[in-house]
Structure 1
């Protein structure tokens, strides 16, 4: 399959029936399932992650990938060159020497320790094992997704999938790593495993620029009863905002859950600049208080949901490489809705319109943040263009690296 065909197929409007979907909340649920799948791998492990840290989670992943490679499993690991830091020589050599094909997306030079290309990042989080099981979501391989990390632990979500949709996820991920399409033994994912209909949708800078955003807008436009969006970085396009306002005005219950604090202060300012505009139409806005919110999920009515890597902000919607799954399944929707309702009721603060008056500082910084974020994709497009590459680390290259 050519790269172009893979992109088109991944975002083609094909819903795959017969899938089983399991919600995984935070690293405490996600990592054990992901590591167990890798430990059971017999033929192939394909993994893409924006962030991989050399902490206790990264070291555990390292152990499982090395073990898999040593028993003859084909292991393809891709990390983003901006999101993941420089690794120690021992960490990289251990993977490569075991036979892991270790790719770095857009490695780029770092003059004076600064990366020149900070946009168009590979922000996806995908794991496919033996063409039988896949994981899609927003959770990176780092210890800050575990509850024992403390007050800075991320609140986030992923899904485990079995069934025919795994074929689509495997085909897309394999094409990115330039893996041939082998005939994997067994029934792989072709047999129905459940009742969920699922679609994989990606965003890139070539053929699928607006697919994820359009899927959101279409679902909101068709909402009859309820829209719940929980997203870490919320600053979508004017068209998506308009769909939310129209839904609220026609009587749909529209709830937005966003982060009360962020590692990008301008993102918080930008989101808050939208609150009044949304609440005037009847949208209810909540801020998640206890810890950093990193989720990218939504539930609409009884049979539409999404989980993935895409935030609803200019970076994700206009520049990053992203992947979401869209799910039609009443049982899964009920589970995700209940989790989000519990989160909202126990850990979120509802924004009171009267609190939005603010002072002079907020009156000045809010509009500035709004216009900076609204124009950011256009300005980023004026920067010198570059074609992101994938660097495959080879044993000789690792051996030459300083210890």
Structure 2
């Protein structure tokens, strides 16, 4: 661990995958993320790799569009993959301008609407990755859409991303290329067991982990749970959609009972009433063990971050709910660095103090007997619904490469 004599007790199953000598930088909300990401795209000389759940034709999407067209025109390889559910449609002009200059634009698992309803809501590409020239990468929960900017209004999302430089970027780029070359899931990708050669960029240890529906189904959740088990002083989790399994909840309760300060920041102004109700159904179970819960009430909370002992931290796309933990394709970066962890914790402390309300145990009605009998049944139904959905007749996700307009010259060399 950087900056302290305390050696974090690493999990054996991932220790060889951690990369040293990285620079890491926290980006809060669209204002910071778009400024850094767009500046990096404007500087790109060789390659731009993008994966995102949502890309809209709003002011953010149009600015990204402009930068990508310019990059392709100066000879940069540009690869973009969006999710077919999260990004439901684009105008012919938007796509045509990209593909005509040689941008490779892919849609993960696209499907037509049925009576105006988008189906195939499960097993979505929920990752948010950006890699520039194999030297700089961004990972987090922020999509390319204007609702991550404060001027969007009351519906603007509170969210986070991480900018990384150093050996960890080679892992992220390797995966992004493997996903492009396959079906978009990247399940065939093998995590390199040795770090690629790279110059020293900073002092942080970093780990890039995925959740997929192949060999890495539990990778992100397992790293979280190992950190909670190792916690000595404090666990701070800020997660938009919080409804993990009993094992995760049991470890949070155990940590609180052994004297670890456990703080949880959830949505107070939810963009999904179902998700909020599910999270609140767990409150009493956690509060009675000593977990402190706060609800963010300024605007919709969309973050997926955590800090443990001011040493270990994570930023990524994975919620702690059944969709992210059981079905969707996710990506997180985990960091062991005292300075980064302290900074993230300070940002969460300020968020809690200025914009959150504490959940008072006295304000939660005592559970009646019928609640105690029915709540476990409801919990299991909600928690295991994704697994049951996975038993339905499966389809193989497909990635559609958008073709240039007929007769257009792509600008690519013959």
With the length of structure 2 as denominator, give the TM-score of the two structures. 0.88
Match of 1:64 among 50, 67, 85: 67
Partner of 1:43: 46
Q: Residues of 1 paired with 2:176 and 2:45: CA distance?
A: 18
CA deviation profile, 1:199-235 (whole Å, cap 9, x unmatched): 0000000111000000000000000000000000000
Q: Select which of 344, 350, 362 maps to 1:342.
A: 350
**4+ aligned runs moved over 6 Å, structure 1:** none
C-alpha spacing 1:199/1:382, structure 2 compared with 1 (3 Å): same
SS in 2 for 1:112: coil
Give the number of equivalent residue pairs: 381
- Please state if 1:82 is matched with 2:90: no
Q: Which has the higher helix share?
A: 1
Contact map agreement 2:84 2:111 (CA 8 A) in 1:
yes
Classify 1:300/1:316 alpha carbon distance in 2 versus 1 (closer, same or farther; 3 Å). same
Matches within 5 A, 1:222-371: 222-357=230-365, 367=375, 370-371=379-380
Superposed counterparts of 1:15-54, under 5 Å: 15-54=18-57
List alignment gaps of at least 5 residues for structure 2.
1-13, 183-195, 409-414
The structural deviation recorded for 1:262 is 2.0
Partner of residue 395 from structure 1, selected from 394, 400, 404 = 404
Once the two structures are superposed, the pairs formed by residues 140-219 of structure 1 within 5 Å of their partners are 140-178=143-181, 190-219=198-227
What is the DSSP-based 3-state SS (H/G/I as helix, E as strand, rest coil) of the residue aligned with 1:86?
A: coil
**Partner residue in 1 for 2:229:** 221
Distance apart, 1:110 and its partner CA: 2.0
2:113 counterpart of 1:105: no
Report the Cα offset of residue 376 of structure 1: 1.2
Task: State the 1:363 CA deviation.
Answer: 6.0
The whole-number CA distance in structure 1 between the counterparts of 2:343 and 2:38 is 23
1:379 aligns with 2:379: no
Alpha-carbon distance change, 28 to 369 in structure 1, aligned in 2, over 3 angstroms: farther
Contact 1:52-1:79 at 8 Å conserved across structures: yes
What is the root-mean-square deviation in Å for CA atoms of aligned residues?
Answer: 2.2
Q: Gaps spanning 5+ residues in structure 1: where?
A: 1-10, 180-187
Cα distance, 1:150 vs structure 2: 1.4
User: Is the 1:163–1:193 contact (alpha carbons within 8 Å) kept by the matching residues of 2?
Assistant: yes
- Cα deviation 1:226-249 (Å, max 9, x = unaligned): 000000000001111111001000
TM-score normalized by the length of structure 1 = 0.90
The offset of 1:398, in angstroms, is 10
Is the contact between residue 93 and residue 398 of structure 1 (CA under 8 Å) also seen in structure 2? Answer: no
Which residue is 1:6 aligned to?
none
